[in-house]
Structure 1
């Protein structure tokens, strides 16, 4: 754990150099840390929920949706429902929307993408009405966080493939890139496990969760692949931009799925 946290690329070099007996295998480490993430997310959410219940008992005249402590967390998932489909204003259920769609001529029906987005928005709007804005947004945030380990697992091969592309002239086996990929994502999980509980008290910690992985990745690439700082920087930039794009798309799908399954 200590080398993983403070020595970027060290475990990868040790593993590829055959000195692997002293360290946990990358796959086992990944599985352990991903489960630890799930556990910490659940614990932090449970503590937050119990604190909310305790606060609500002490506050007798507070309005239902008065708490603002989670607004900075859910700003990026707060959907603007009204301008996309006017039907959503007048119908509260997915069943009603589907009934209307089935009655329309085929050339006037929503397409597949618009259909799914509209259903998601109706479900989210219903959750806001029944649970309140803060509770609905909090549940989206919690559900999205719980899917992050799954999202990273799906994207692991993509990260390894991007490494293979940027170092294509080095004739490095894909398995070597895979080991580097797993160790880097293990660092992401470990960093999340440390900083996420703190971020509930200080939103500025979230900035570290974004910046530290970038610094770590750049230093790890320097240490493992042994190229110049300029070459490494350009490859690092391509890798982070491309992977970041696919990660953003995956997270948006995750947010949409969380909104769709709220009610």
Structure 2
């Protein structure tokens, strides 16, 4: 390699400037701390040369990693656990990099505002249709006429009344909702005698009713008006009321954006549990948990790469069916990766492949529920 800039021999010293270890003139780097052996003052040109050199150096590992992932399923995981790691990127760091890029690109194509507008338009159209039905069908007049009818049994009257309530639809639901919002108000002394669970389900409807009546958005002013302590729990519950109203007003747009922005880290913490399920599935094999985890990170990284490209192609070429093709491609890839990594026959691999997918969907469902519930408390 041709030496230039700060790597020239004329700039090398006999001692590392970082840790003080003695060096020879032929040493380009300190064998103790790894710093460059040079006395040359850093210039802008040297800085950018070393910056791009480090990128191309990483690019070599990046190229080997991507090629192995794309064209040799399971090979990179197998070689990594066997100790061939220098030419490959760290699986955990590489997964995080790819997942963040995937969600950034995917976020560019997801129109949360468009979804909210579409739902809002559907609700508006539904209300308009309902009002038209109410005008066309005078329900109150029909009820009065039915009451005058003498030859109808009690069962017939009940059935007709039920049908009329179904026609009323939104009006009936609205009445029930208004009725259900009648809340009991508690003094601070009564609150102090409640346990933590009682406070949760009794304070929320009370604060919600207060907010609906007053529109107060300041927890401090609301608690002062109610003569409640400005404790952390009271303020937290009132803030939950405000957030719940915001979700209803914008049809959940900000809430789902919040969850979407956290997905890369949620999935990252979810994968170790998935790796644990694979470890239990292959418990009779000699692989330890960390080796299963490495395989899991590699296959999940490949999932993001395949699905990411499918989304780009679908949006650019307007081919919605391409996403389904990409999912099938990934499933085939996963089967091949399992076959290569665990080195088992076709029959056993197919059975475990099916079990792995069942476990994945169970854990994904559980993870989704926990994510939504957790997000409600921290959003």
What TM-score bracket applies, with the shorter chain setting the length?
A: 0.5 to 0.7
Selected match of 2:245 from 101, 105, 126: 126
**Among candidates 218, 224, 229, match of residue 341 of structure 2:** 224
Counterparts in 2 of 1:19 and 1:97: CA distance versus 1, 3 Å: farther
Aligned to 2:36: none
Pair member with larger Rg? 2
Distance 1:199 1:255 in 2: 28
Give the match for residue 140 of structure 2: none
Specify which of 336, 339, 352 is matched with residue 235 of structure 1.
352
Q: Which residue is 1:215 aligned to?
A: 332
* Among 351, 361, 374, the residue aligned to 1:244: 361
> Is residue 2:96 matched to residue 1:31?
yes
Displacement of 1:227: 0.8
- Pair 1:257–1:178, CA change in 2 (3 A): closer
In the alignment, is the contact (CA less than 8 A) between 2:81 and 2:291 conserved in 1? yes
Which residue matches 1:159?
274
TM-score, length basis structure 2? 0.47
Find the partner of 2:263 among 148, 151, 154.
148
Q: Deviations over 1:117-155 (max 9, x none)?
A: x99x97787346533x4xx3x444443333322222112
Instruction: Say if 2:284 is the partner of 1:186.
Output: no
**How far did 1:25 drift?**
1.4
Q: Name the residue aligned to 1:20.
A: 85
Cα distance in 2 for partners of 1:187, 1:122 equals: 41
> Is contact 2:274-2:363 (8 Å) kept?
no
Rate the CA distance shift 1:6–1:145 in 2: closer, same or farther, 3 A: farther
Shift of 1:10: 2.0
- Please, which of 274, 280, 284 is the counterpart of residue 169 of structure 1? 284
Give the distance between the partners of 1:202 and 1:66, measured in 2 at CA: 26
Higher relative contact order (CA 8 A, sep 6+): 1
Structure 1 residues 11-90: aligned runs within 5 Å: 11-45=76-110, 48=111, 65-66=120-121
Indicate conservation of the 8 Å contact 1:36/1:193, yes or no: no
Which residue of 2 is the match for residue 8 of structure 1?
73
CA contact (8 A) 2:339 2:349 kept: yes
Q: Deviation at 1:112? A: 7.1
Give, in angstroms, the shift of residue 64 of structure 1.
9.5
Secondary structure of 2:104 counterpart: helix
Offset of 1:211 from its aligned partner?
3.7
Shift of 1:24: 0.9
Q: Deviations for 1:2-33, whole angstroms, at most 9, x for unmatched residues? A: 33234321211221233222221112211211
CA distance in 2, matches of 1:219, 1:98: 61
Change over 3 Å in CA distance of 1:147–1:213 after alignment to 2: farther
Residues in 1 aligned to 2:329 and 2:242: alpha-carbon distance in whole angstroms? 36
What number of residue pairs does the alignment pair up?
225
Q: Displacement, 1:255?
A: 3.5
